Amino acid sequence: MKTQERWHSAMQNNYGVPGITLVKGQGVEVWDEDGKRYLDFLGGIATNILGHAHPAIVKAVSTQIAELSHISNLYAHTPGVELAEKLQDLTNNPSARIFFCNSGAEANEAAIKISRLSGRTEIVAALGGFHGRTTGALSITGQEGKRTPFEPLLPGVKFIPYGDLGAMRRAVSKKTALVILEAIQGENGVVVPPVGYLREVREICDAKGALFAIDAVQTGMGRTGEWFGFESEGIVPDIITLAKGLGGGLPLGAMITVGEKTPAFKPGEHGSTFGGNPISCAAANAALDFIVKKDLLQKVSDAGEFLKEELEKLPGVLEVRGRGLLLGIVLESNVAGELAAKATSNGLLLNAPNKGVIRIAPALIVTKSQLKEFVKIFSKSLSEVLNG
C-alpha cells in the first residue's frame, strides 16, 4: 500500500492527506520516497532554521541523547540553563526569565496564564493573527473559521484590525491583562505592520498598565534578520513567545518574561513534562551558537533583499512583503494554491497561506546559488500557471 493510502487509513484527517512522502533531507534539499529531489523553501514552515541534518545539530543531539535524555523538571540540567542564559542575553535584559515548553501554542498558553497573575483577565489580539490550536491559543487567534467549531472558547478576548492604532487605543483599557501581537503575521500571509505600530502599541499598553506580548514563534531565531523580529521598533515587550526555529528542528518552545513588573510563576503554577528537555535544548544551543558564529543575521537580511529584488521583477507578482527569510509573495491573481502545487511538481517546496500569497521560509543557511535556483523554478512555475 502507498504511504498516502496508509495515512488515510490510520491518521486523523486534520491535515488532509499530504501529496508526497519525504524520506531524507540535507541542508535545503529533501527527497521523496520515489527519489525525487526538492529545494525546500518552506523549512518545515519556518522551523528548520539550519536546514536538514545539519552537522552541528546532529552532533549536539547525538552527544546529548547518549549522555542524558529525559529527566523531568524536578532536576536541573546544563543544556537548559545554558539556553535560558543565551535567550536572556538576546533580550539584553538580565531580568528576563524563561519557561520552556514544546510548541508555539504552549508558549502562548503560558503567556495567557501568566497574564492572569496581574489580576486582570481581558485580552486584546489582532484579526488575522495566529497563535496556535490549543484551546487558549485558539481563543486569541483572530481567524474566525478556525475558532467557530470549538466555541465557546476563553471569554474576554477582543479582536481588532492589525496595524490600526485607533482600534488599539479603543480596545485597551485598565481591565486589559494582555495585548498579544505577532511581529509579522506569518500565517495570515506575511503581513507586516506599519513602521512605528509596535512602538505605539507599547505606549498604549504602558498607559493602561496592560502587558504587551510579542508572539515571535514564526519571526524568531534570526528569521527576519533580527533575533526576534521586533527590534527595529526599539521596543521591549513584557513577554516574548518562541518556538518553531528555536529547537533547530526539534520540538521546543519558550515563554520569556522581561522586566521587573511582569508577573512571574511561583513553584507549582505551571509546568510541562517534556518542555525544555536536554535534547531539544542541546539542539537549540547548537543552532544559536552556529547562527552567531557564522554571522547569519546579516546574511539573512541580504538574502531577503536579493529575493525581493528578483521576485518583484516577475510578471504576475504584485509585491513581496516580509523581512529576511520570511517572505510573502503577493500575486496579481488568486492562483497561489495552483502555483504551490506546480512548484512542488517542479521540485520546489513552498506554501500558500491564502489564495493570493505564497510564503517562503527557508533555512538560514541557504546559499546564493540555492536562492538563484529558487527564483528560476518559481519563475518557471508561475509562468506555467499563468500561461496554462
- The reply to whether 245 sits near ligand PLP by the rule CB under 6 A is no
CB 280 within 8 A of CB 115: no
* Residue choice 182, 226, 238, 310 for contact with ligand PLP (CB under 6 A): 182
Catalytic residues: 130, 215, 244
Three-state SS at 14:
coil
109 binds ligand PLP per the rule CB under 6 A: no
What is the distance between the alpha carbons of residues 176 and 121, in angstroms, rounded to a whole number? 7
Q: How far is the CB of 182 from ligand PLP (least distance, A)?
A: 5
Q: Per CB under 6 A, does 188 bind ligand PLP?
A: no
198-227: contacts with ligand PLP (CB under 6 A): 215, 217-218
DSSP of 173-199: -TTEEEEEEESSBTTTTSBPPPTTHHH
> Which range binds ligand PLP by CB under 6 A, 32-40, 124-132, 232-240, 356-364?
124-132
Judged by CB under 6 A, does residue 243 bind ligand PLP?
yes
Omega before residue 263 within 30° of 0, cis: no
Tally of CA atoms within 13 A in the half-sphere of 229 that contains its CB: 31
Q: How many residues in the shown chain lie near ligand PLP by CB under 6 A? A: 14
Answer yes or no whether residue 132 interacts with ligand PLP by CB under 6 A: yes
Would you say 331 and 357 are in contact if contact means Cβ atoms under 8 Å apart?
yes
Q: 233 vs 310, which CB is nearer to ligand PLP?
A: 233
Look-up: residue for cell 499563468? 386
Min CB(353)–ligand PLP separation in Å? 10
Strands (E) in 41-196, as ranges, are 97-101, 122-126, 157-160, 176-182
User: DSSP label at 364?
Assistant: T
Residue from 40, 109, 187, 310 binding ligand PLP (CB under 6 A): 187
Rounded to a whole number of angstroms, the minimum distance from the CB of residue 173 to ligand PLP is: 25
Are 139 and 153 a contacting pair, CB within 8 Å? yes
- Compute the distance between CA of residue 30 and CA of residue 106 in angstroms, rounded to an integer: 29
We find the least distance from the C-beta atom of residue 40 to ligand PLP, in angstroms, to be 17
80 touches ligand PLP (CB under 6 A): no
Residues that bind ligand PLP (CB under 6 A): 103-105, 108, 130-132, 182, 186-187, 215, 217-218, 243
